[in-house]
């Protein structure tokens, strides 16, 4: 997979691509990530990339010129694949685990990040971008959102995680929150590890964990339970 990030602040996200799961995936050649600065495509002597909104109002708006030129520059390096253009905004389609799974099958993502300002509407229209929101809260720029999206996509690439099964096992992938985990010592500050986990009875452990997953999901995220497959228990209350 190839990922290009168009941003005014490449230095704010570049370090992220060299550590942890994403860093290892880059090292292993599973993905290449590069940043391009819109500023390098400004045409006036002040290197402007944004301007005041027509109709008035606060803030600045990213201009079409530098954004379309940066896109053309990045996509000129195209071989045979078509890039999926993504714009991160609070108005976009909500990011979910299934959207991440879908995006992880695309060979090439181009991610547009605004900062302080919004995008001129014609960028959305003319560039055929997919507008995505990381959630119903506001961060100050697309960079923070891009890091979330890129991390979520890259860890799904085959070979990115040590244990392939950990992807299927985790929260959301199966529609339930994760069960609680414990490690040594068996007792810490008077708090004990649940006896069942020390029993060595793997069937009992699996049953306990599933019960914990259901309990947690019902109490913390009842909205997630609606999607659970209840065909095996006839929809009985948990």
Least distance from ligand JDQ to the Cβ atom of residue 208, Å: 36
The tokens describing 96, both together, are 């979910």
Least distance from ligand JDQ to the Cβ atom of residue 205, Å: 38
Q: Are 133 and 95 in contact (CB under 8 A)?
A: yes
The tokens describing 144, both together, are 């923070």
- Residues in contact with ligand JDQ, total (CB under 6 A)? 16
Answer for which of 8, 61, 71, 88 binds ligand JDQ (CB under 6 A) is 88
DSSP conformation letters of 121-186: HHHHHHTTPEEEES-SS--SBHHHHHHHHHHHHHTTSTTSSS-THHHHHSTTTSSSPPPP---S-S
The alpha carbon of residue 26 and the mean position of all alpha carbons in its chain are separated, in whole angstroms, by: 16
Closer CB to ligand JDQ, residue 138 or residue 226?
138
The alpha carbon of residue 152 and the mean position of all alpha carbons in its chain are separated, in whole angstroms, by: 4
Q: Which stretch binds ligand JDQ (CB under 6 A): 36-44, 87-95, 183-191, 211-219?
A: 87-95
* 133-to-76, 193, 223 alpha-carbon distances in Å: 27, 39, 19
Q: Are 6 and 67 in contact (CB under 8 A)?
A: yes
Q: Which stretch binds ligand JDQ (CB under 6 A): 49-57, 138-146, 172-180, 187-195?
A: 138-146
Instruction: List the interface residues with ligand JDQ, window 101-120 (CB under 6 A).
Output: 114-116
Instruction: List the interface residues with ligand JDQ, window 6-65 (CB under 6 A).
Output: none
Q: Which stretch binds ligand JDQ (CB under 6 A): 15-23, 48-56, 71-79, 86-94?
A: 86-94
Place of tokens 């060299």: 18
Instruction: Note whether 142 binds ligand JDQ by CB under 6 A.
Output: yes
Answer for which of 25, 112, 129, 141 binds ligand JDQ (CB under 6 A) is 141
**Interface contacts to ligand JDQ, rule CB under 6 A:** 88-90, 114-116, 133-135, 137-142, 145
């Amino acid at each position: 997979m190839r990922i290009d990030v168009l941003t005014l602040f490449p230095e704010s996200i570049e370090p992220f691509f060299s550590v942890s799961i994403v860093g290892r995936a880059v090292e292993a050649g599973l993905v290449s990530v590069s940043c391009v600065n819109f500023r390098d495509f400004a045409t006036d002597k002040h290197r402007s990339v944004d301007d005041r909104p027509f109709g008035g109002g606060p803030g600045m708006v990213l201009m079409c010129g530098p954004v379309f030129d940066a896109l053309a520059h990045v996509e000129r390096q195209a071989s045979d694949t078509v890039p999926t253009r993504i714009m991160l905004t609070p108005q976009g389609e909500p990011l979910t685990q299934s959207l991440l799974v879908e995006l992880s099958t695309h060979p090439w993502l181009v991610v547009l990040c605004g900062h302080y300002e919004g995008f001129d509407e014609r960028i959305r229209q003319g560039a055929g971008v997919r507008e995505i929101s990381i959630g119903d809260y506001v961060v100050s720029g697309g960079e923070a959102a891009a890091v979330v999206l890129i991390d979520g996509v890259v860890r799904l690439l085959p070979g990115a995680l040590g244990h392939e099964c950990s992807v299927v096992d985790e929260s959301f992938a199966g529609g339930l929150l994760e069960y609680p985990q414990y490690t040594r010592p068996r007792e810490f500050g008077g708090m004990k590890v649940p006896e069942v986990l020390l029993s060595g009875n793997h069937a009992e452990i699996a049953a306990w964990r599933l019960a914990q997953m259901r309990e947690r999901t019902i109490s913390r995220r009842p909205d997630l339970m609606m999607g659970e497959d209840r065909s095996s228990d006839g929809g009985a209350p948990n």
